[in-house]
Structure 1
Amino acid sequence: MPASQLLTFRAMAYNNGWANHRLLTACARLGQAEFEAPRTGFFPSLQATLNHILVIDHFYVDALEGGRLGPAAWDDPVPHPSVAALHRAQAAVDRRLVAFCEALAPEGLDAVTRVHRQDHVQEERTDRLLLHLFQHQIHHRGQAHAMLSGTAIPPPQLDEFFAAGEAPLRARDFEALGWSEATVWGR
């Protein structure tokens, strides 16, 4: 397996954390009532949508780490009602996902991850599970982005993927996250 594949998954984990940070930072400017307000989307509010992202991240990141959390991950569909608490919890699981991707060896992407479902244990290749998780995040962040567009808070740009020439535009976010370009790219 080429080292570039490992770098791609690592960069995707960092990009995922960066996008979550940007979106939750914007949502922090909303009042609690606006955060909870009914909106059009798969989930009925920004609060429900962003908590869903977190809950599913707990489910899959636990599985990637070899855990057995399974469906207990979604026992509470809104574990963090406030943006501040949600932002902290999301940042923590994002760091776990980054650490997992940082530690991957070439054979790790082909390894089988056991996902504890309600009535069975699903065995899935790790690379496929990571791609599924990233796609899930992108899908629901897009919905939250659209919901945020219906408020007075402008939604942040989320469709960027670390273009080299745009490093100065993300420097403040990276500083807040404790990252650098070298951290992301391993150089």
Structure 2
Amino acid sequence: MTNAIRFNRKLAYANMLANDRLHEAVSMLEAGEFEAARTSFFPSLVATLNHILIIDWFYIDALEGGDLGAKAWENEIPFPDPVDLRAAQIASDRRLLAFCLALGDEDLDRPVHIHRTGRIQVERCDDVLSHLFQHQTHHRGQAHAMLAGTSVKPPQIDEFIVADDAASRADVLQRLGITEAQVMNQDQS
């Protein structure tokens, strides 16, 4: 396995763990806080977290060779309930992880056809993955900041990729049924 493959796999794990930690915090919000108006790019936690999921659907579908395109965001808030949204995000994260685990060196520079309105954008697979992980990080940071204005303390979401942080991620690994060896890309079973 090349370092690029290992890197993308670790990012997929880190993405899943950070999303789960963020959704765990959201699950503890008081009534009305999830939907409440907030200051950020999207006007609420519900809008921001649904946007993350929708764009995941868009790019993961393209990476898998699909043609979902703009149909991904026909409904801007497909999951108004945080429990349902969390389940959908976990499913999406597992789908992205499975894609990254299946990557071979020959896949990184293969073309990905992204169905945009009125055109098909063609990009390298590794560039699409890089953009998708950046998109996730960007909007998770916004949701994290919005949590600061709620009854729930924002969780730690940036400790998931180095060996020294193993103890800090044990709770999330247990919730998701993932092993430390998998996260550190030593065992992909």
TM-score, reference length from structure 2: 0.96
Match of 2:3 in 1: 4
Question: Which structure has the highest helix share of the two?
Answer: 1
Q: Could you list the structure 1 runs, at least 4 aligned residues long, displaced by more than 6 angstroms after superposition.
A: none
> Does 2:123 match 1:128?
no
Aligned partners of 1:28, 1:38: CA distance in 2, in Å?
A: 18
Structure 1 position 32, deviation (Å): 4.1
> Does 2:74 match 1:75?
yes
Q: Is the 8 A contact 1:59 1:71 kept in 2?
A: yes
Match of 2:83 in 1: 84
Quick one: percent identity of the two aligned structures? 54
Instruction: Tell me the secondary structure at the aligned position of residue 114 of structure 2.
Output: strand
- One-letter amino acid matched to 2:12: A
- One-letter amino acid matched to 2:24: T
Out of 159-168 and 84-93, give the one that drifted further: 159-168
Match of 1:31 in 2: 30
C-alpha offsets along residues 150-181 of structure 1, whole Å, 9 cap, x if unaligned? 11100111122322122122112101111111
Which ranges in structure 2 are unaligned for 5 or more consecutive residues? Answer: none
Count of aligned pairs between the two proteins: 186
Cα-Cα RMSD: 1.0
Aligned partners of 1:168, 1:161: CA distance in 2, in Å?
A: 10
Instruction: Tell me the secondary structure at the aligned position of residue 94 of structure 2.
Output: helix
- One-letter amino acid matched to 1:34: E
C-alpha offsets along residues 47-81 of structure 1, whole Å, 9 cap, x if unaligned? 00000000000000011111110000000000000
Aligned partners of 2:59, 2:98: CA distance in 1, in Å?
A: 14
Q: After TM superposition, list the pairs within 5 Å mapping 1:1-187 onto structure 2.
A: 3-187=2-186
Q: Is the 8 A contact 1:32 1:82 kept in 2?
A: no
Aligned partners of 2:81, 2:70: CA distance in 1, in Å?
A: 23
TM-score, reference length from structure 1: 0.97
Aligned partners of 1:171, 1:85: CA distance in 2, in Å?
A: 24
Q: Is the 8 A contact 2:113 2:120 kept in 1?
A: yes
